[in-house]
Amino acid sequence: MKNFKQIAFGMLVCAMAIGFSSFTNAKKVFGHQTTFTVRYNNITGVNDGISSHYVYEDESLQNCDQSTKECSAKWTTTNAPSLGAAPSGSPSYAGDALPGTYDPN
The pLDDT assigned to 23 comes to 52
Mean of the per-residue pLDDT values for the chain?
79
- Residues 28-62 pLDDT 10s: 556 667 889 989 988 888 888 899 999 998 765 66
Q: Is residue 64 part of a domain?
A: yes
| pTM of this structure | 0.63
What span, in angstroms and rounded, lies between the C-alpha atoms of 62 and 82? 14
Q: Which domain holds residue 72?
A: 26-102
Number of domains in the chain: 1
Task: Tell me whether residue 66 is exposed, middle or buried, using C-beta atoms within 10 angstroms of its C-beta: 0 to 12, 13 to 18, 19 or more.
Answer: exposed
